Structure 1
Amino acid sequence: MSEHKGRRPKPEEIKRIERIYDTDYEVGQDNIKAMGMDIHNPVFVISATLILVFVVLSLILPEVSKEALESTRVWIGEQFDWLFLTAGNLFVLFCLALIILPVGKVRLGGQDAKPEFGYLSWFAMLFAAGMGIGLMFWAVAEPVGYFTEWFGTPLNVGGGDATASLGATMYHWGLHPWAIYGVVALSLAFFAYNKGMPLTIRSTFYPLLGDRVWGWFGHVIDTLAVLATLFGLATSLGLGAQQAASGMAFLFGVDGGLMTQIAIIIGITAIAVISVIRGIHGGVRLLSNINMLVALALLIFVMIAGGLIAFAANAGTTVWGYVQYILPLGNPVGREDTTFYHSWTVFFWAWWISWSPFVGMFIARVSKGRTVREFMTAVLILPMLVTVVWMSAFGGGGIDQVREGVGELAGGIGESSLALFQMLNEMPFTSITSFLAIVLVLVFFITSSDSGSLVIDSITSGGKLDAPTPQRIFWAVLEGTVAGMLLAIGGDAALNALQAGAISTGLPFTIVLLFMCVSLGIALYQELKLIKHGYA
């Protein structure tokens, strides 16, 4: 029995806490096995049906689908902008509190659990899955777009302000997205590894709903998670296909239009299927480690080619801009730059939220053995620091070229997907670095797709970690199909269609995440009480 201070819980209090998690539910007990699949009824059926209906309607009525997506995006942005911004702020405060408070010493998997992966592999996997494609696509385009007023300007500060441009970019890519991921990841890991529950979203609501999570309440939660994950992934895969196609057009002179983008989605989905079959150890971990090395090499090159002194100055500007603008940009009240934050901040927040079931579950699966404090520090703080360096090198380098009137960026952002290649074109070894950038986009594409397939597979099989291979293949193929549909029905405005898909599924899941924070807070407090008095 451990030494402790304060009131010792009464035996009936300990029994009450332990009884909260006393359930007869077993993973897979209500699954249907058919055609080589292990289907969790009705989550698999409802999710797959809704997604297939979307695909079919998009094929039959592309114009109607396009108008519906666009009107939905605009309506959600106008009516629920306050919800997205407020929720994002609450997630950051919640995660920071977990690092500081005594619950930070709770260990995922029990106090004697050991980590499965080393720090380097662990961090590489969570970072590559978390925002790899996004950083490649937006690192140059976003800050340069704000600087040149091509995308509008944050808080109406006007163009030509590097501090505001880099600060707003960091606001979108810093603490807030990783706090959203951290909430889901920690919740899933704790309830799976410490309470022995299925690794699925519904398990995280057990302190609030009890055994009702195994009924229709849980079915709705898991179905929302599947839809959010798939459309969030489709947004990323669509952006990745656009950028890879633009890079190939830039480097090799091929047509970078829709057919090339669709061909890329087909080819990469095929490779992702192979990686999915190999699993985390044989597929995702290997690809993540390779990609992080290539990304590091490209980052170092850009820092050196752009000038280390200039990089240091841009890093200072990025940090100061982030500190200066994080509070004003997080305030939804009295904003005059509504066009800016509806088009960008609300989109990014919805995108991160729609990605959170996928990234959160993936991080949870590779994070057993970490303490809450160690987990949150790695998930929240370290990626933010890496993003500061990345945005300072690429975004700051792009702004420097605009200031100096160098290259095509000086004329503004014509195509977002070309911005990175236009910046690299003004540096040495353009062919090599542009080729590496294309490889990075494609491999980030693969890691996102196969990680997402493994996660959706787990949710739709009731939390099983080893669902049948045909099921993994089904979801990998469906992700690529939805990404292709969004690009096709969007046409010239494909970005709007991609944004609409993420925003539409991100809205309901925002509510889910807010209640998840409450449930996790209750559970961690109870766990700390048990640990403190030697019962856990």
Structure 2
Amino acid sequence: MKKVSNVFYITVALIALTVAFGVISPASFESVTNNLKAFVSTTFGWYYLLLFAIFLVLALFIAVSPYGKIRLGKDTDRPDFSTATWIAMLFSAGMGIGLVFYGASEPLSHYAIDPPSAEPGSGFALKEGLTYSYMHWGAPVWAMYGLTALALAFFQFRKGEPGLISATLKPIFGNRMNGPLGVLIDVLAVFATAFGVATSLGFGAVQINGGLNHLFGMDIGFTSQFIIIAVVTVLFIISAWSGLSKGIKYLSNTNMVLAVILLIAVLLVGPTLLILNLYTETLGMYLQNLLQMSFRTAPLGSDNRGFVDGWTIFYWAWWISWAPFVGMFIARVSRGRTIREFLLGVIVVPTLFGSFWFAAFGTTAASIQDAGTDLSSLATELVLFNMFDQLPFPLLLSIVAILLIASFFITSADSATFVLGMQSMHGSLTPANNVKLMWGVAQSAIAILLLYVGGLQAIQNTIIIAALPFSFVLILMVVSLMKALKAEKKRIEIGTRR
């Protein structure tokens, strides 16, 4: 492994120590993560909220500004992938498993158990629950991903820098990014990526376990989830071995086909008219109230602070921990696009698709809840499959959902091994297969550890903690990007005058 960087060895050592701590003393691990998570949520909640609001405003500004004409690459470069395949790839890497895991359960929880401010079970609670689901998976998230990916793509394809987080900070720190400071930045990025992706692998294993239990009676528990992760690990390593233009491309297109089929099926067999009416109204509510929701810290005792901590802060931390992975992957597949085309594509398309997904699945779950079948009391991973039981063709819907989860699972892990390999080999666009293999095993080991020491709660605690230090790196990346864009625009104007 002659091209492997120090980032690989340092990060693997840190991950090994974390995994060993969790295995040797799971009770202590859970206690430590619980305490740290409570501290971060309470102390830095306002910071996370402010950060995402600023990212959204800044991303939209860049998209419509003169910077939007700059191409991510040489002026003669054109996109490597078709627009449809590009959207499928960024969407699959970005949040595929989560949409299936939370598509029905999150709006249902906001409606029936813990609305942000409304009375549980009321009509306004359903509308409010849908709008918050749109926000948690919509524009602020994809703006953050977009800025991260934009910085990486701009410096890599326009300026010829390696595909490393540290390389995006050279306008601020100069050649110091080639030394220990740069290594530290990249270690933070790789560490956050490994735990962020492991979170989704844990969610995917839990929901596949729930589906197989519902259909075939498979026991729900750590042993079953361990077997699921082991099987899927083999599959995504095989895919990773085949390369970016084959494995990930084909899987991403498969994901989108399965997702659209499932979405249309739920729309048609669910309360179709109610879904369409609620989506139209709640999309308007979302656009009207996005700023207010983005800044909602719930500072007073009567404001339901638990909702903000348990949902919004958790999501913002989760997305930050995914930022280096999703950002690097989106950057890698976006060469040749203009900044305007890139940002509008990254922000608008996934936001519209994701919001309609939540409208279809959330409205259907709420309707079934109102009809007398209590879905809200079920574990999160079982809500979707019990909802299908109340619709026509339940077996077929459940099988398609399990296939979709497994496909998203493989794609996310496959994409992550590629990105982690890049970061471990000085930003190489073709990381060695043996390095990708090691990262594939490491991601799965982290997911298994988190499930072993505390299930979903341990997963949530860990990502909130891991995201905090990397959030400061994101701020520096955005500052560096703006400085570089300003210089590039000036260079283009001088060249044009000549």
TM-score range, shorter chain: over 0.9
Determine if contact 1:127/1:383 at 8 Å carries over to the other structure: yes
> CA shift at 1:56, angstroms?
1.1
> CA shift at 1:324, angstroms?
4.5
Matching residue of 2:431: 467
Q: In structure 2, which of residues 56, 80, 85 is the aligned counterpart of residue 116 of structure 1?
A: 80
Matching residue of 2:147: 183
Matching residue of 2:450: 486
Matching residue of 1:221: 185
**Rg larger in structure:** 1
> CA shift at 1:333, angstroms?
4.9
Matched AA of 1:153: P
> CA shift at 1:504, angstroms?
1.1
Matched AA of 1:456: L
- TM-score normalised according to structure 2 size: 0.96
Question: What is the CA deviation profile of residues 293-323 of structure 1, one whole-angstrom value per residue up to 9, with x for unaligned ones?
Answer: 0111111110000143122112124313423
Matched AA of 1:464: S
Matched AA of 1:338: R
> CA shift at 1:156, angstroms?
5.6
| Aligned-CA RMSD value | 1.4
Matching residue of 2:350: 383
Secondary structure at the aligned position of 2:73 is classed as: coil
Distance 1:79 1:309 in 2: 43
2:106 is the alignment partner of 1:153? no
Matching residue of 2:283: 319
Moved over 4 A (4+): 156-159
Matching residue of 1:523: 484
2:5 is the alignment partner of 1:40? yes
Distance 1:60 1:148 in 2: 39
Structure with a larger share of its residues in helix: 2
Question: What is the CA deviation profile of residues 377-423 of structure 1, one whole-angstrom value per residue up to 9, with x for unaligned ones?
Answer: 00001111111211111111111222232x342xx242011111111
Secondary structure at the aligned position of 1:112 is classed as: coil
Matching residue of 2:45: 81
Q: In structure 1, which of residues 267, 275, 285 is the aligned counterpart of residue 231 of structure 2?
A: 267
Matching residue of 1:242: 206
2:323 is the alignment partner of 1:356? yes
Secondary structure at the aligned position of 1:383 is classed as: helix
Determine if contact 1:154/1:164 at 8 Å carries over to the other structure: yes
Question: What is the CA deviation profile of residues 114-135 of structure 1, one whole-angstrom value per residue up to 9, with x for unaligned ones?
Answer: 1100011100000011000000
Q: In structure 2, which of residues 234, 252, 257 is the aligned counterpart of residue 293 of structure 1?
A: 257
Matched AA of 1:434: S
Distance 1:180 1:457 in 2: 23
Shift in CA distance, 413/171, structure 1 to aligned 2, threshold 3 Å: farther
Determine if contact 1:141/1:413 at 8 Å carries over to the other structure: no
Secondary structure at the aligned position of 2:378 is classed as: coil
Q: What is the aligned-residue identity percentage? A: 39
Matching residue of 2:310: 343
Matching residue of 1:68: 32
Deviates more, 1:525-534 or 1:89-98: 525-534
Distance 1:226 1:119 in 2: 28
- TM-score normalised according to structure 1 size: 0.90
Secondary structure at the aligned position of 1:182 is classed as: helix
Matching residue of 2:63: 99
Distance 2:221 2:457 in 1: 17
Determine if contact 2:297/2:305 at 8 Å carries over to the other structure: no
> CA shift at 1:58, angstroms?
1.0
> CA shift at 1:533, angstroms?
2.8
Determine if contact 2:153/2:332 at 8 Å carries over to the other structure: yes
Question: What is the CA deviation profile of residues 29-72 of structure 1, one whole-angstrom value per residue up to 9, with x for unaligned ones?
Answer: xxx62xxxx3202x111100000111111111111111111111
**How many residues align structurally?**
492
Q: In structure 2, which of residues 361, 366, 369 is the aligned counterpart of residue 394 of structure 1?
A: 361
Distance 1:170 1:384 in 2: 7
Distance 2:40 2:308 in 1: 12
Q: In structure 2, which of residues 333, 341, 346 is the aligned counterpart of residue 366 of structure 1?
A: 333
